[in-house]
Structure 1
Amino acid sequence: MFKSKIVLIFFLPLFVLSQNKKWPAEKLKQDLVIFKEVREKANSGLYKYRTKQQIDSIYSWAFSQINQPKELIEFYKIVLQITDFEGSLHNDTTLPDDFEKKYSSGNVFFPFPVKLIENKLVVNFENSEIPLGSEIHSINAIKSLKILNSLYKYYTTDGYNITGKSIGIGSSFAKYFQMEYGPQKNFIVEYSLPNQTKKIKKTISAVSNEKRKENFKNRHSLPIDSLQYNRAKDKYSFKIISGNTALLSVHTFVIGRNAKHKEHLAYKKFLDSCFQYLSQNNQIKNLIVDVRNNGGGTDPNDIVTYSYLTQKPFRENTSAYVTFQEIPFSEHFVYEETEPQKKQEEKKDFEDELKEEFPKLENGSYFQDEKFNQLLQPTPNNFKGQIYLLISPRIASAGSLFASLVAGNTKAIVIGEETMGGYFGHNGHTPIEYELPNTKIKTQFSIVNLEQDVPKKSNQIFGRGVIPDYEVKQTFEDFLQNRDTQLEYTLKLIEQK
């Protein structure tokens, strides 16, 4: 969940190398050592899903890969493997801006948006070369399954979750492919037409990054998945669907910076009006809560929303901790400020906040003071009918915390697909960023390791997202027709009950 972000920039002498040249192994190993030490000191979620032995093992592998000079992009892929392996959707490791801009110049990208439908990679764009809905079997003789497996590291998810990676594939397939397999002038695509098995080969030309983005904006599935990739203009809505059913859609929790922000206050007023109406209208027995596009946001939007759906006191989490009060390796920290004096002031303010919220040292970790995690009460006009919660792989951070609370602590019927955010907990709240001194690769992660206030359930698995009671995926025919499979399923389920 996105709280105030400390973004830091530290200027060191730049070890300049062309993107086409190889970096000395010594320089890469220096960066990898710093990358490892930073995460051991600052990343409270380092061993959340992996044992120390497993983490040590992947670093042993990484060091073994850089005994010889390497191009920056190859070193970057190694670091990405580690970033993804840790299992936090708030992890993000990026190339230097100037390098990525140069590396992505020219007509080098796969031209068509794609989408994973029924575990198949299909064309998601009306065009004259490869028909919409065609299944891609291989590109440049690389099988689609191998391509997908190789691209997963570019989009991090919580724990062992895989479903959420479909969001990254859907939005950035061409970019990931170019980074993984290099710039291409042409693509030999082996595909089959919709609902056919005969394989066809066709060579198509690469396009520019601008054209790639333009094609994505004009993808076929835009009417259904537009909110998954763009911050919603209409962030929330409420409507009566029938005489006994209402629909509350909350597409993001990026609704004001804090509890006093006017945007949050307007949202709170909106919720009050919706649930006051529901409490006064005894005919509406069913409430569909649609958070399928909710990738997270700021406190207390998630908690306030939940307070209208529960009848029990609750907390945001059962525990939360960080592993430092003073920034380790501060010489590599990325600051917002650039002047030395202002950087020191920013550093002190940040550390003072940590010491206030996480004052208690236990077993090497600093735990959250209870005043920052108070017992909260349900809103008086909370909904007492049947809740139907719609979830998807897009749901992350504050969105998944909200979905976990509803799925775990109410009698909601959960419909859709597993969330990318964890059910039992995640690392969130406060993202920090470091820059490696030689390559200038930046790495970001969130430092608060929290356990969500949810019970154990037979269908909820450690290291996985919220698991639906009814798994409902979009069918291929619904994809072609742009039908909302999950919502239609839910309405039918309500009719049957």
Structure 2
Amino acid sequence: MKQPYFFLFLVFLFSNLTFSQSVDDVFPQKKMRKDLAIFKDLRQKANSGLYKYRTQKQIDSIYSWADNEIKYLSTYRDFYNLICKLTDFEGSLHNDTSLPDKIFQNLRKEKSGYFPFPIKWIDGKWLVNFENGEIPLGSEIISINGIPIAEIISSLYKYYTTDGENLTGKKIGLRTHFARYFRLHYGLKDQFIVSYKKQNTEQIETKTISGVSHNDYYKNFQNRFSKPYDQIYYVDLADNQKYNFKKLDSLTAKLTIYSFAMGDEKSKEHSEYVKFLDSVFIQIKKDNIKNLIVDVRQNGGGTDPNDLVTYSYLAQRNFQENKKAWISFKKIPLLKYYNINVPKIIRPLLVGKFNKEFQEIFPVEENHRFYQNENSNDHKIWTPNKNAFTGKIYLLISPAIASAGSLFASMAAGNENTTTIGEETMGGYYGHNGHTPLEYKLPKSKIITQFSVVNLEQDVPKKEHQIKNRGIIPDYHIVQTYKDYLKQADTQLDFVYDLIKKN
């Protein structure tokens, strides 16, 4: 009578031994090598962006390094960090490597070991972005546990992907998830020895502070000092909050677009947005506005054709969404690792529909690449709207701009009548990998890896100061000053106002 219960106990015990429950558990090197080989195979067969920013020699080299590195690794966290480094090295903001839900939920339950305070990059320094803590607000962090802050930040960049070799965008992720990323790279810490400088002094002070729970760090982040200034980046906006227009004086107006997530041509939200744009630019023409500030600093992307429709009101040329686009497969490869919650035996039936769509959208094969043809909607020629603005455009950009946001901003920045102000975007100027994400699960670690498979070359002009593997480089590099940070003032917008007055 006891045998069935004993058998069930063995099944339970075996299932819990074969899959790591904590990110710090021991993870066999044999399993690491199995998953690493599959991870590499996935990238080579499915990811058109593998060699977008890296040469084959560079990719081969980092995988050789990774294979050798495994002999020094012992834990699940070690292997996860290795996969994150490989993911980030490719250079695509649509790349993502994530922990299995069970492990991630266990992280969230951890009661101690996290750095307590949010930090923020201000004017070239990492500052404590929290008031009434053990370290004064605005103090510059010099080191944590004897590790220079520059070394820490460099080690954590792998967790937040951006296009090409962009670094400014990574600071967006680090200001949000610094404590979690520190924990994933360095492990849990009971205490943190922090060396810092208070504002307006060169004296280095040191204080030992206790680690907090995962949840307490995020409570502190929700109460960060800069929240009134940067909260718009973190909220789910209602339909009527995603854009606004304001006339500032008789010659100047400001158009702000926080997101392009407004649905496609069939959606009511898209239709309402088009009506908004039309009314705005009719008013601009009627009022003879000469200067238009276009603020997309918080725009992380969204859906087509909202980005293109918006640009049609600023364009002075015919344009298309991209000059070329391609994928690297005819049929989705390695289906047994495809992360879809159906039995492997019937996956080909479900994926068949997607394969047919891929083949219709990318019908032209050249050198093992599958391209769109001239009939693609992405190559549709757009013309400037009849009410398109022809005055002076002042485009405000930031590291938060990505995907459809960076496509729009790149096109606008390419205009001869546009002056670009702010910081380099995380989204690429000349192109990116986007549109269609594929998601796979590695069989041994259950780590989930996602990447967008369409390699795009954007329809933007070449610019002398625009670096190939980077985001949009502004004409005027303006960051929030320390003084304005303390006042919650907008340094970049104030600069634009002054620039308009001078012009």
Contact 1:231 1:252 in 2 (8 A): no
Which residue matches 1:9? none
How far off its partner does 1:311 sit?
Answer: 2.2
* Larger Rg computed on CA atoms: 2
User: Does residue 26 of structure 2 align to residue 22 of structure 1?
Assistant: yes
User: Does residue 113 of structure 2 align to residue 146 of structure 1?
Assistant: no
In structure 2, runs of 5+ residues without a counterpart are: 1-14
Q: Which of 361, 383, 391 is matched with 2:397 structurally? A: 391
Tell me the TM-score normalised to structure 1 length.
Answer: 0.94
Which residue matches 2:4? none
Counterpart amino acid of residue 322 in structure 2: N
Task: Measure the CA separation in 1 of the matches of 2:246 and 2:320.
Answer: 29
Q: How does 1:377-456 map to 2 (within 5 A)?
A: 377-456=383-462
Contact 2:430 2:460 in 1 (8 A): yes
Instruction: Give a deviation string over 1:388-426, Cα, whole Å, max 9, x none.
Output: 000001101111111110111342010001111111000
User: Does residue 334 of structure 2 align to residue 324 of structure 1?
Assistant: no
DSSP-derived class of the 1:204 partner: strand
Structure 1 residues 137 and 44, CA gap change in structure 2 (3 angstroms): same
Deviates more, 1:90-99 or 1:201-210: 201-210
Task: Measure the CA separation in 2 of the matches of 1:348 and 1:279.
Answer: 50
Which residue matches 1:8? none
User: Does residue 285 of structure 2 align to residue 279 of structure 1?
Assistant: yes
Task: Measure the CA separation in 2 of the matches of 1:416 and 1:457.
Answer: 17
Contact 1:24 1:68 in 2 (8 A): no
How far off its partner does 1:259 sit?
Answer: 1.0
Task: Measure the CA separation in 1 of the matches of 2:159 and 2:153.
Answer: 11
Contact 1:88 1:426 in 2 (8 A): yes
Which residue matches 1:186? 191
Which residue matches 2:35? 31
Alignment length, in residue pairs? Answer: 482
Q: Which of 344, 350, 356 is matched with 1:352 structurally? A: 356
Instruction: Give a deviation string over 1:308-345, Cα, whole Å, max 9, x none.
Output: 0012110011000001121100100012x536687444
User: Does residue 238 of structure 2 align to residue 238 of structure 1?
Assistant: no
User: Does residue 482 of structure 2 align to residue 479 of structure 1?
Assistant: no
Q: How does 1:161-200 map to 2 (within 5 A)?
A: 161-200=166-205
Instruction: Give a deviation string over 1:195-221, Cα, whole Å, max 9, x none.
Output: 111111111122222221121111111
Which residue matches 2:213? 208
Contact 2:290 2:392 in 1 (8 A): yes
Tell me the TM-score normalised to structure 2 length.
Answer: 0.93
Task: Measure the CA separation in 2 of the matches of 1:346 and 1:240.
Answer: 51
Which residue matches 1:496? 502
Counterpart amino acid of residue 311 in structure 1: Q
Structure 1 residues 68 and 386, CA gap change in structure 2 (3 angstroms): closer
How far off its partner does 1:18 sit?
Answer: 4.7
Which residue matches 2:7? none
Deviates more, 1:122-131 or 1:397-406: 122-131
Contact 2:250 2:287 in 1 (8 A): no
Task: Measure the CA separation in 1 of the matches of 2:73 and 2:122.
Answer: 40
Which residue matches 1:10? none
Task: Measure the CA separation in 1 of the matches of 2:304 and 2:266.
Answer: 11
Contact 2:339 2:440 in 1 (8 A): yes
How far off its partner does 1:21 sit?
Answer: 3.4
Instruction: Give a deviation string over 1:254-295, Cα, whole Å, max 9, x none.
Output: 112x1111111111111111111111111x111000000011
Contact 2:436 2:452 in 1 (8 A): yes
For the aligned residue pairs, the C-alpha RMSD in angstroms reads 1.5
Runs of 4+, deviation exceeding 6 Å: none
Which residue matches 2:90? 86
Task: Measure the CA separation in 1 of the matches of 2:250 and 2:130.
Answer: 38
Task: Measure the CA separation in 2 of the matches of 1:358 and 1:242.
Answer: 49
How far off its partner does 1:231 sit?
Answer: 3.5
Counterpart amino acid of residue 367 in structure 1: Y
Deviates more, 1:233-242 or 1:67-76: 67-76
User: Does residue 255 of structure 2 align to residue 251 of structure 1?
Assistant: no
Task: Measure the CA separation in 2 of the matches of 1:16 and 1:417.
Answer: 43
Task: Measure the CA separation in 1 of the matches of 2:302 and 2:133.
Answer: 40
Contact 1:240 1:246 in 2 (8 A): yes
Task: Measure the CA separation in 1 of the matches of 2:88 and 2:235.
Answer: 23
Instruction: Give a deviation string over 1:326-365, Cα, whole Å, max 9, x none.
Output: 1100100012x53668744431121111011101101110
Task: Measure the CA separation in 2 of the matches of 1:301 and 1:418.
Answer: 22
Q: How does 1:51-130 map to 2 (within 5 A)?
A: 51-67=55-71, 70-104=74-108, 105-130=110-135
Instruction: Give a deviation string over 1:139-189, Cα, whole Å, max 9, x none.
Output: 111111111111111111100111111101111111111111111122111
User: Does residue 474 of structure 2 align to residue 468 of structure 1?
Assistant: yes
Instruction: Give a deviation string over 1:73-120, Cα, whole Å, max 9, x none.
Output: 100111111111100011100111111222441122111110011221
In structure 1, runs of 5+ residues without a counterpart are: 1-12
Contact 1:158 1:464 in 2 (8 A): yes
Task: Measure the CA separation in 2 of the matches of 1:250 and 1:136.
Answer: 34
Deviates more, 1:87-96 or 1:229-238: 229-238
Deviates more, 1:51-60 or 1:378-387: 378-387
Task: Measure the CA separation in 1 of the matches of 2:467 and 2:396.
Answer: 19
Deviates more, 1:226-235 or 1:35-44: 226-235
Structure 1 residues 69 and 117, CA gap change in structure 2 (3 angstroms): closer
Identity between Structure 1 and Structure 2 (%): 52
Task: Measure the CA separation in 2 of the matches of 1:293 and 1:138.
Answer: 30
Which residue matches 1:225? 230
Q: How does 1:294-309 map to 2 (within 5 A)?
A: 294-309=299-314
How far off its partner does 1:129 sit?
Answer: 1.2
Counterpart amino acid of residue 339 in structure 2: V
- Structure with bigger RCO (C-alpha 8 Å, 6+ apart): 1
Contact 2:299 2:405 in 1 (8 A): yes
How far off its partner does 1:252 sit?
Answer: 0.8
